[in-house]
Each structure stands twice: as C-alpha cells, then as structure tokens.
Amino acid sequence: MNEIVPVVAMAGISIEFPGVKALDGVDLRLFQGEVHALMGENGAGKSTLIKALTGVYAIDGGTITVMGSDHRFTSPAEAQAAGVSTVYQEVNLCPNLSVEENILLGREPRRRGGISWKEVRRKAREVLGQLQLGHIDPGSVLSSHSIALQQLVAIARAVQVDARVLILDEPTSSLDADEVQQLFAVIRTLRDRGVAILFVSHFLEQVYEISDRMTVLRNGKLVGEYLTRDLPRMALISKMIGKEMDALAELEDAEGRRQSDRTQDAPFMQAEGLGRKGSVRNVTVAIHAGEILGLAGLLGSGRTETARLLFGADRSDQGSLRIGGTVRTLRTPRSAIDRGIAFSSENRKEEGLIGDLSVRDNLVLAMQASKGWLRRIPRATQDQLAEKFIRALDIRPASKDALIRNLSGGNQQKVLLARWLITNPRLLILDEPTRGIDIGAKTQIQKLISTLASDGMSIIFISAELEEVLRLSDRIAVLKDREMVADLANDGVTMEDVMTIIAGTNA
C-alpha cells in the first residue's frame, strides 16, 4: 500500500477539560487501505482523540490535515460530508425509531422529492446482510433489540455509506466471536477497497488479528506509532500501562482458581422453569453461596433477559423462584435488592449512569437506595467508600466529584461495578462487567470476582467473551434462542464443548 500521503494526519493535538488534560500533543496518521489500531488504557484519550477528529470537540492545539489539505471539522455533519464515518463508543441511536430509519437517518434515499421507503428498506437489508444480520427485521423498533445488536446496527449505519475513513470506537466490546468475525470480514473488504480504518479495542487478539499499524496513547500523551507485526504483545502492554508488567502471567493465575464444588449445601437461589412471555423460557438453575455461575450463549440468546428476570427487572410469568429456600416472586429490582441480589446492567448508558451526578453519588446510590432516603450515608463515609473503590479499581480521574458522564467509558463501567460491590450483596449478577475495560483493569476485576466468590458471594457472570466465562465459572448454563439448554459443572469445559451444545440442540 502507498504511504506517501496519509488520508488523515493529526499533529500535536491537545484538548483540555476543566481539571483534566485529556490530550497533550498527540499525533495520528491514517493511511488508506490500512487498519489502524488506537491503543491505550481506559481514560488514555482514545475516544477524545476520535471526537476531536470528527468535530465533536474543538481542539485547543495542533493541526488536522484531511486528504492533504489543512482541515478542521466544526461538526460531525461536516466530518460525515467529507467521508469520515464514525461509530462512537456509546451506542448513539434513536431507540424509538426502526432499525432501517436508524441506519439511513439523515441520508434517506430520495425519489422525485419524496423519499422512497422501498429504497430505504432495500439498502438497510443490503448492509445488514453484509454483517450477517439478515435475520433481523429492518422495520422492527431498535429498542426491542439487545445492546449488542444495537451496536451492530450502529456499525451497519457507519459502513452503509462508502466512506474514505471509517472510525470504530470499541465496536466489539459486547460482540461475541462470530459477530467479531463478521465485522472483520466487512472491515477487510472495506480496507481492500482502500478505506482507511481506525479501530479501537481492548481485546489484544482482535487488534493483532485485524490491524496493520497501531498508535499507543498513555494518559493523553502519545507513546508512539508502530507496525503491528513489529510490536509483540508484551511490548504493547508495557507501552500502554507504562511499566513492565506480565499481564498474561496474571491471567494465568486468575485461571488457576480451585474448582470448588458447593452443590451439597442448600442453594441461595433456585429457579425452576422460570420464564416470561415473549422473552426467555425454562430457566432452571441453582446458585450456591460462593459459586460463580457463567451464562454462555450467542448474541441474542437471552442472557441479559435471564439476568433481568432473576433480578426482577422484568417480571417472570412462568416457573418459580426460590430464594434461601422460600418461594418468591420478584416484582421490582427493589425487592430483589432487599433479598441481597445485585445486578449490573450491560447497558451502562441507559440503565446505569446517573450522568449529571458525581462519581461519589453514583457509587453510593444503590446502598443509599436500600438504606432509604431518611438514613443518609454520612458524607465522611461516602468519601471513604469512594476513595477506597477509586483506588481499588484504579478509576481515573481519581476525583470523587467529577461528573460521571465526563469519565471515559471504561472508568464509568468501573464506577457502576463499584456501586454494587459497595452493597456487598449475597448474589451479584454481572452482565458484561468487563465491557470496554482495559486488560490491566480486566485482570484486576476477574481476580476481584474470584476473591468475592471465595469469600462466599454467589455470582452470575455474563460475558460476550466465552474464554472469560469458562475461566471464571464453577458452573456454566448455556442458553440458546432465549431458552436454557444445558447446565454443566465447569470441570475443564472447553469452548468447543459449549459450541457443540449450542449447535447440537437444534438437531
């Protein structure tokens, strides 16, 4: 590929937010026909750099050259017009519009003045097809789909136009293996068509699989630009975290956790054929104290919905649920929380963050809620808790008073996790808890989960990363087509085993 003139060249970019210097003299070059990975820890400045490029944020310093000419976008609209197509980190679509409307929003095909809805449908189908999403109905309302699917729709929207630059900010954070492969297929075709692609992900293997070149950021500063093939993983990791650290080794000893079997003592929670009309069916699981139950399944298999049922976020209308031996119907999350159940949602933006409140308020919210409004947690205690968890999960910026919406995606996720850890529940349901979290923090959190379990907390663990599930769980429940199809003890279960179960049952 020719490297003469970069399609996009950003030089010495600086952006300062009150309190934080998000970017400090960062350079980035995108060449056509190349996949460029933007690497860095949570809060390193990846998303900010992207927003600086697409004109969401004005830059305080530096220059942006697009197609050779000095150029600065003042609005996302301009960037789009200039052929820069972006998928931002937080799914930013209109939940009440249909899938097709979302995909073609603002560029509806026109015929004779009016727009032709036939054409809209056709184009939507076409691009969904490319992403192997032919099965979803373009006319269906977006909000009826899981966050993962919504993310795919956002991607579809981005690849639908023939752009010269395609920017993907953590597109794979909640996709599982197959979707990732489909996405990569699309990325490759685009790359071969000469599109310049900027790709952000915390999954090293994905980065190494797809990218040709990478730029590494640390604390808003540029570490360097490298050819992927010249930069071994360990080197990359140490460049990102800035110190020699054997992350993989850490992963190893996270894996080395004892296979405890607690099935003899009475289960904390027991679901019998639990289900809900139009949603999941026949969920039958028992969770014992100190046990980690992993939910495995493909995208849209009903893991989230199962979790919501067990938490009372949706009401079950089939089967029964026993908590501590007695039959209970969970009508509201509140009633679940009162029984020591906690649920951290996969949809952090809509179901997690209280954007305009501080990190502190967000941290203590759940605890405060269960205490009731009268018994306010003393400020001192709040601060202690906040500081404790900011340190424990290494949340950046390390300020209790920062508005949570100003935190980076990964750091927001950490805060929400902490919100539930504080309440120290008996059963902790984690739906994609490590979504968008960098490797360093991820290993921390995985360790944390194991320790919590060994201290007797029950945990239901959902992750799009099957390895992660297999590595952590004592037992694994497999879902398929929103129905539970298997529940196996994790004595060396492999990905293949799970896949065969999923494949097998439709025979």
Partner 1 sequence: MNALLKHRLTWPVLALVLLLLLNQLFRADFLAVRVQDGHLFGSLIDILRNGAPTILIALGMTLVIASRGIDLSVGAVAAISGAVSCTYIYNSPDPSSFRTAAVAVVIAVAVGLALGLWNGFLVSVVGIQPIIATLVLMTAGRGLAQLVTDGQIISVSNDSYQAIGAGFFLGLPISILIAAVAFGVAGLLTRRTALGTLIEAVGINPVASRLAGLNARNITWTVYVFSGLCAAVAGLMISSNVTAADANNAGLYIEMDAILAVVIGGTSLAGGRYSLVGTLVGALIIQTLTTTVYTLGIPPEVTLVFKALVVIIVCLLQSSKARALLGRRRRPVTEQSEVKVSI
Written in H, E and C, the secondary structure of 376-420 is: CCCHHHHHHHHHHHHHHCCCCCCCCCCEHHHCCHHHHHHHHHHHH
Give least dist CB 459 to Mg ion, A.
Answer: 16
Give least dist CB 12 to partner 1, A.
Answer: 17
Read off φ and ψ for residue 38, nearest 5 degrees: -105, 115
* Token pair 């938490």: residue: 311
Which of 370, 363, 367 minimizes the C-alpha distance to 390?
Answer: 363
Strand order in the sheet with 318-323: 283-287, 269-275, 318-323, 326-327
Give least dist CB 108 to partner 1, A.
Answer: 4
Contacted entry of Mg ion, partner 1, ligand ATP, none for residue 394, CB cut-off 5 to 8 Å set by kind? none
Written in H, E and C, the secondary structure of 273-314 is: EEECCCCCECEEEEECCCCEEEEEECCCCCHHHHHHHHHCCC
For ligand ATP, what does the binding mask look like between residues 430 and 449, x meaning CB under 6 A?
------x-------------
Stretch that binds ligand ATP, among 67-75, 117-125, 239-247, 293-301 (CB under 6 A): 293-301
Number of residues that bind Mg ion (CB under 5 A): 6
Stretch that binds ligand ATP, among 78-86, 249-257, 312-320, 402-410 (CB under 6 A): 402-410
Q: Which is nearer to partner 1, 9 or 167 (CB)?
A: 167
Gap between the Cα atoms of 465 and 182, Å rounded: 16
Q: Which is nearer to ligand ATP, 93 or 367 (CB)?
A: 93
Report whether 385 contacts 364 (CB < 8 A): yes
Number of other residues whose CB lies within 10 A of the CB of residue 170? 23
Give least dist CB 106 to partner 1, A.
Answer: 5
Is residue 413 part of the contact set for partner 1 (CB under 8 A)? Answer: no
- Pairing assessment for the beta strands 269-275 and 69-70 based on DSSP bridges: unpaired
Give least dist CB 233 to partner 1, A.
Answer: 33
Is residue 130 part of the contact set for ligand ATP (CB under 6 A)? Answer: no
Report whether 476 contacts 292 (CB < 8 A): no
Site for partner 1 in 310-349 (CB under 8 A): 311, 313-315, 317, 332-334, 337, 343, 345
Q: Which is nearer to Mg ion, 130 or 304 (CB)?
A: 304
Is residue 380 part of the contact set for partner 1 (CB under 8 A)? Answer: no
Site for partner 1 in 40-59 (CB under 8 A): 56-58
Is residue 297 part of the contact set for ligand ATP (CB under 6 A)? Answer: yes
Contacts 24+ apart (CB under 8 A), 491-495: 491/259, 494/470, 495/466, 495/467, 495/470
Which of 262, 330, 290, 297 minimizes the C-alpha distance to 428?
Answer: 290
Q: Which is nearer to ligand ATP, 95 or 109 (CB)?
A: 95
**DSSP symbol at 357:** S
Distances (CA, A) of 125 to 133, 141, 283: 8, 15, 33
Report the residue from 98, 270, 406, 450 that binds ligand ATP according to the rule CB under 6 A: 406
> Can you give the binding site for ligand ATP, defined by CB under 6 A?
17, 20, 22, 40, 42-48, 89, 144-149, 174, 278-279, 297, 299-305, 346, 396-397, 406-411, 436, 464, 482
> Can you give the binding site for Mg ion, defined by CB under 5 A?
46-47, 89, 304, 346, 409
